[in-house]
Structure 1
Amino acid sequence: MRRTRYPLGIALALASAAGFAGCWEGGVVQIYSCDEPCFSLDPDECNDPCPVCDGACVALPALGFDDPILLWRGDATDGTSPPECPADAPDLVFDGYSGFDGEHTCPTCLCTKPSCELPSGLLGSASATCDGTASTSFAAPEGWSGTCTAPAAATSGELGSLLIPAPTVSACAPTFDSGGASPELVAPARVRGCTGPADKDRCMDPSMMCVASPSPRPAGFTMCIRSLRQRTPVCPDEYPDLLAVAEGFDDTRSCTPCECVQLEDATCAALVSVYGDTSCGELLGAETVTMAGPKCVAGPDLRLESMTGQWIRDDPGKCAPTGGVAMGQVTPKSSAYFCCQSDEVIPIY
């Protein structure tokens, strides 16, 4: 480019009349104004000395920090990928994670309520001692509630004895408090750093430098400077927000599984009746059976065509939940620290 020079007398006159800037060079002063640097000269005769920043003028990094870059932070729980670097800052210089602070929580374990359950059926024997000799199984329907039922194996023949099994207590199923902490472990947030050309001589203010940055700045991107030290830095006023990041992490977090322990406080007792007809109308006998054990019934004219069950004590007790204890942690790898502009800072473009 050509430099336009003026004789000293004309230069001083112009300077005093218009308040133009100037510099001495070989006895000749070069006069210019950043509002009108060419003074109506032809473009090929003009040498524009005014700096022009094509990105953003931001504060120079403090001692111990690298040049400013654009840093994107976002949630990674939905499985989406971080955005590509903007066209005006195309160079990917950091790709990692943040948000490793705090302990993870586990859901509160609960147990479903147990229930007293009637015998699943009766067992008839040819002998009078319920020893299973020439036995016949009289199965009740699955989940029998005690209503009249005529077992398929019922026979009009006489039996020597009839075994009535003890009632039982159903197992508790583990579950968790749906209103408490989620059982899912939240993944660390994603972080991506982008940059482009940078120049310390392209801003009018010498305390600032020109860095690549689109205008307007894409959502989620903030101007940040990276600490050159491994320890936690003190962020300067121009970049007050500290962000700990890492290039990767080891995740050993887990929650111990929810389980249930049946407490020894159940009391279940039922009256089981047997009938000589299929409609529970001809009562042959009835016996009370408890959780203490089965009962063997023997006698003449013993047979079974139908049966019913009725609760005398229906107290299944309760179960104690265990589990839901947080274990492990997230350990960052290749840690680093960034100091970023606050959301309240308005970038100067």
Structure 2
Amino acid sequence: MTTRKYPISLALALAAAGSFAGCWNGGPVQMFSCDDPCYGLDAHECDKPCTVCKGACVELPYLGFDDPILLWRGEGASAPECPAETPELVFDGYGGFADAHSCPTCRCAQPACELPPALRGGASATCDGTTPMSFDAPDGWSGACAPIASGELGSLVIPAPTVSPCAPTIDPGGPPAELPAPFSVRARGCAGSADAHACADPSKMCVASPAQRPEGFAICIRYLRQGEPKCPEHYPELQALYTGFDDTRSCSPCGCDPPEDSACSAIVSVYEDGGCRRLLGAGTVTLAGQKCVAGPDLELGSMTAEWVTNEPGTCAPTGGVAAGEVTLEGATYFCCQSDEVVAIP
């Protein structure tokens, strides 16, 4: 931009020719080579007649508020980079905090009646031998014919069945096992150059802003005093944000009480041969205790088992209790322009 002073006669001639426009400042006319300088302004307001706002002309800051900036708000854990026109990061924070957190709903898998994993034999005919020998069943034995081999025994102990513990699980339709982030909104404030005299309207100032603001960005003013403000007319939307938080939330781990109302009983049979054909003896065992099969001269070749009662019961779940809280830090209030379009009657 070039500013020159011309005699009034020349100025009037140029003005009549339509090549220039200007504003009066007592005596000579100041002529400028820009289009429509200071259009609609009084002479005393014509201090930067050819300046063009390369951002956005917005209302001057209100008492108690900082200069306007671009504020982005969006869902998720990350925020975009500041636009090139407003490269200075002046706020980074969070919003959308929940008042309380939910924990998973604990459940318990079904327990199971389990057959004895092994038989014990000894030389004593009364099952009170001090050095018993163990005859293991196959892993995961279901009661089918299983070969075993032993020398001569005086007696055989068939152990009682057992009930497996319940495995804790969580309700798939409830809250997840891992606590989500305590916030649902991320926010970022970005600033650039500002000029109080670059707008044609003296009640407005020029702030840096992209020609097309990216989605999620709005022009906002930050409240500089304590407490929650009442937003002014031109920035009606209040945004309560925080610079940080202390998260002490937790959920007690899921567990299961021992099984209750269990009823497990089975007939265990032993055979002389390895194919479960020549029955040597059998005994019914329950959760109440083991069974003794007395000799003499027992010699085992195989064994089978069959459930008489298979009712393992149920387990009561424990855990899933919420504790702790989120303590918010650095409360910050912004008042933002609204994108709402209001119809004019």
TM-score, L = length of structure 2: 0.84
- C-alpha distance 87-280 of structure 1, shift in aligned 2 (>3 A): same
- Give the corresponding residue for 2:279: 283
- Letter of the aligned partner of 1:98 in structure 2? G
Verify the 8 A CA contact 2:116 2:158 in the aligned structure 1.
yes
Find 2:215's aligned residue among 205, 219, 231. Answer: 219
Find 1:174's aligned residue among 168, 173, 195. Answer: 168
Q: Distance in 2 between matches of 1:8 and 1:255?
A: 85
Q: Give 1:114 deviation, angstroms.
A: 0.7
- C-alpha distance 300-114 of structure 1, shift in aligned 2 (>3 A): same
Verify the 8 A CA contact 2:21 2:37 in the aligned structure 1.
no
Deviations 1:84-117 (A, max 9, x none): 3222111121223323233222221111111110
**Gaps in structure 2 of 5+ consecutive residues:** 39-46
- Give the corresponding residue for 2:25: 25
User: Is 1:341 the counterpart of 2:337 in the alignment?
Assistant: yes
Q: Distance in 2 between matches of 1:112 and 1:194?
A: 53
Range 179-188 or range 258-267, more displaced: 179-188
Find 2:91's aligned residue among 87, 90, 94. Answer: 94
Find 2:318's aligned residue among 322, 328, 340. Answer: 322
Q: Give 1:143 deviation, angstroms.
A: 1.4
Verify the 8 A CA contact 1:241 1:340 in the aligned structure 2.
yes
Verify the 8 A CA contact 1:256 1:324 in the aligned structure 2.
yes
- Give the corresponding residue for 1:165: 159
- Give the corresponding residue for 2:4: 2
- Give the corresponding residue for 2:263: 267
Q: Distance in 1 between matches of 2:334 and 2:11?
A: 54
Partner SS, residue 245 of structure 2 = strand
Q: Distance in 2 between matches of 1:220 and 1:23?
A: 41
Verify the 8 A CA contact 1:175 1:258 in the aligned structure 2.
yes
Q: Distance in 2 between matches of 1:300 and 1:35?
A: 122
- Give the corresponding residue for 2:62: 62
Verify the 8 A CA contact 2:166 2:259 in the aligned structure 1.
no
Find 2:179's aligned residue among 157, 170, 185. Answer: 185
Find 1:230's aligned residue among 226, 230, 236. Answer: 226
User: Is 1:148 the counterpart of 2:148 in the alignment?
Assistant: no
Q: Give 1:165 deviation, angstroms.
A: 0.9
Deviations 1:186-213 (A, max 9, x none): 2234322110111222222334321111
- Give the corresponding residue for 1:53: 53
Matched-pair identity in %: 63
- Give the corresponding residue for 1:42: none
- Give the corresponding residue for 2:42: none
TM-score, L = length of structure 1: 0.83
Q: Distance in 2 between matches of 1:129 and 1:207?
A: 108
- Give the corresponding residue for 1:44: none
Find 1:115's aligned residue among 101, 112, 116. Answer: 112
Q: Distance in 2 between matches of 1:301 and 1:178?
A: 57
Verify the 8 A CA contact 1:6 1:30 in the aligned structure 2.
no
- Letter of the aligned partner of 1:6 in structure 2? I
Q: Give 1:21 deviation, angstroms.
A: 8.6
- C-alpha distance 171-342 of structure 1, shift in aligned 2 (>3 A): farther
- C-alpha distance 5-210 of structure 1, shift in aligned 2 (>3 A): farther
